[in-house]
C-alpha cells in the first residue's frame, strides 16, 4: 500500500502488541456480550410496566439492570478501544464473535431465550471462522500519528464514500425507520452498523496515537496535535449514536437474534470502510484471500444458524426469572 503522505509513520505491529490486542478483544467480547443481556433484561422489566422505549420513553434510566449493562458496555468498549490500538482491524473485529457466544449462553440463563442445537452449532462455526481469518489475515501496517491518519481521511475516495454513508443514514432515519423499523430489525441494525464502522476507525486513530505518544512522549507527543481532539469528540458521538440505535433494535427483538445479525452487518461495514480508508485489503495472496472470505462466510452461516434457532421460539410464552410472563417479541 502506498501511504498518502511522504513522511508516513505507519509500521508493522510487533508480536507482543498482537497478543495484548487479542487479550483485550477477548475481554471486550465477554463484557459486551453480557451487557446486551443485562440491558435487554432491563428493557423487559420496563416493558412489563407499560413503557415503550421505541416511542421515546426514558423509563430504562431508572432500571438497575439497564445501568449495569451500560457499565459493562463502557468497560467492553474501552477494552475494544485498546484492542484496536494494538491490533489491525481485520484481527480484532472477528473476535467480536466471542460476544455472540457469551450473549447466547447468558440469554438462556437470564432471559429464558433457549439455546438449541442449531444455536450451539452456530457458535461453533463462528469460532471456526474467526480462526480462519486470524491465521490468514496479514498484519497490516497502520498509521500511528494523528496527522498520518488524517491524511488517509481526506483522500477523495474516502470522502465520496463518507458522503454516500451520510445519505444512506438519512434515508434510513427519515424514510425507512417510520415505515419498517418495527417489522424488521435491519433498519436499526443498518443505522447502528454505519456508525459503528466509523467508531472503529476513529478508535483506531485515537488509540494508535495514544500508544505512539506513550513511546515518544517527549519527542513526538500526539496530544500536541490539534486534530486529535476533534477525532476524540467524533469517537464519543459515534459511541452515543451506535448505542442509541442498538438499544432501539433490542427493544423490539430478542437479543440473541439482534446481536448475531448486528455482528455480521457491523463486521461487513467495518471491513469495507477500513479497506476504503487505508486503500488495501487485509490479505497478500489469492489463497489467503480465499481463506479469509471462507472465514467470513463460515461466520455468516454460524450466526444465521443461531438466529434460526432463536426464531423457532419467538411465539413461545415464557416466564422470566423476575416473575414476568411475556411472549418473546
Question: pLDDT (tens digit, 9 = 90+) per residue, 30-46?
Answer: 898 899 888 888 888 88
Q: Is the residue at 8 inside a domain?
A: no
Q: Is residue 176 part of a domain?
A: yes
* Tally of structural domains, the chain: 1
Q: What is the mean pLDDT of the chain?
A: 79
Q: 209 near 146, Cβ under 8 Å?
A: yes
Grid coordinates of 323: 416473575
pLDDT above 80 (res 202): yes
Give tens-digit pLDDT for 260-274. 678 778 878 888 898
d(CA 199, CA 237) in angstroms, rounded, equals 9
Q: Per the structure block, which three cell numbers stand in for 110?
A: 437470564
User: By the 8 A CB rule, do 26 and 85 touch?
Assistant: no
| Residue 2 located in a structural domain | no
- Poorest-pLDDT segment among 27-31, 115-119, 206-210: 115-119
- In this prediction, residue 151 carries a pLDDT of 92
Angle, in degrees to the nearest 10, between helices 64-86 and 15-48: 160
Q: Tell whether 250 is covered by a domain.
A: yes
40 lies in some domain: yes
For residue range 160-186, what is the model confidence (pLDDT) as tens digits? 999 999 999 999 999 999 998 888 888
Range of the domain at 201: 15-327
pLDDT (0 to 100) of residue 278: 83
At a CB cut-off of 8 Å and minimum separation 6, what does 278 contact? 1, 140, 142, 152
| Confidence at 1, pLDDT banded by 50, 70, 90 | very low
Asked if residues 165 and 194 have their Cβ atoms less than 8 Å apart, the reply is: yes
- The whole-angstrom separation of Cα 270 and Cα 211 is 22
Residue 150: count of CB within 10 angstroms of its CB: 18
Domain assignment present for 10: no
Cα distance between residue 205 and residue 168, in whole Å = 24
Q: What is the mean pLDDT of residues 149-157?
A: 93
108 part of a folded domain: yes
Q: Is residue 58 part of a domain?
A: yes
Model pTM greater than 0.75? no
When mean pLDDT is compared over 56-60, 101-105, 259-263, the highest value belongs to 101-105
Task: State how far the Cα of 328 lies from the Cα of 315, in Å rounded to an integer.
Answer: 6
Amino acid at each position: 500500500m502506498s501511504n498518502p503522505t511522504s513522511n508516513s509513520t505507519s509500521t508493522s505491529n510487533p508480536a507482543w502488541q498482537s497478543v495484548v490486542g487479542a487479550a483485550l478483544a477477548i475481554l471486550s467480547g465477554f463484557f459486551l456480550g453480557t451487557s446486551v443481556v443485562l440491558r435487554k433484561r432491563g428493557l423487559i422489566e420496563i416493558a412489563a410496566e407499560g413503557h415503550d422505549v421505541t416511542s421515546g420513553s426514558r423509563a430504562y434510566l431508572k432500571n438497575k439492570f439497564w445501568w449495569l449493562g451500560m457499565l459493562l458496555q463502557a468497560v467492553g468498549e474501552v477494552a475494544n478501544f485498546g484492542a484496536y490500538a494494538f491490533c489491525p482491524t481485520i484481527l480484532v473485529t472477528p473476535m467480536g464473535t466471542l460476544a455472540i457466544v457469551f450473549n447466547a449462553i447468558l440469554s438462556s440463563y437470564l432471559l429464558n431465550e433457549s439455546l438449541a442445537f442449531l444455536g450451539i452449532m452456530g457458535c461453533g462455526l463462528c469460532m471456526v471462522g474467526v480462526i480462519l481469518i486470524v491465521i490468514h489475515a496479514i498484519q497490516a501496517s497502520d498509521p500511528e500519528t494523528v496527522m498520518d491518519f488524517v491524511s488517509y481521511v481526506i483522500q477523495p475516495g474516502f470522502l465520496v464514500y463518507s458522503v454516500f454513508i451520510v445519505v444512506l443514514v438519512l434515508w434510513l432515519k427519515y424514510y425507512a425507520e417510520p415505515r419498517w423499523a418495527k417489522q424488521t430489525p435491519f433498519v436499526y441494525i443498518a443505522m447502528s452498523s454505519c456508525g459503528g464502522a466509523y467508531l472503529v476507525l476513529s478508535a483506531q486513530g485515537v488509540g494508535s496515537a495514544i500508544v505512539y505518544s506513550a513511546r515518544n512522549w517527549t519527542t513526538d507527543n500526539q496530544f500536541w496535535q490539534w486534530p486529535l481532539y476533534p477525532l476524540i469528540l467524533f469517537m464519543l458521538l459515534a459511541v452515543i449514536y451506535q448505542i442509541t440505535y442498538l438499544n432501539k433494535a433490542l427493544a423490539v427483538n430478542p437479543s440473541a437474534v439482534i446481536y448475531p445479525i448486528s455482528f455480521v452487518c457491523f463486521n461487513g461495514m467495518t471491513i469495507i470502510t477500513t479497506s476504503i480508508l487505508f486503500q488495501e485489503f487485509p490479505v497478500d495472496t489469492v489463497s489467503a484471500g480465499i481463506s479469509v472470505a471462507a472465514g467470513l462466510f463460515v461466520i455468516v452461516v454460524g450466526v444465521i444458524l443461531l438466529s434460526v434457532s432463536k426464531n423457532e421460539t419467538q411465539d413461545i410464552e415464557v416466564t422470566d426469572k423476575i416473575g414476568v410472563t411475556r411472549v418473546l417479541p
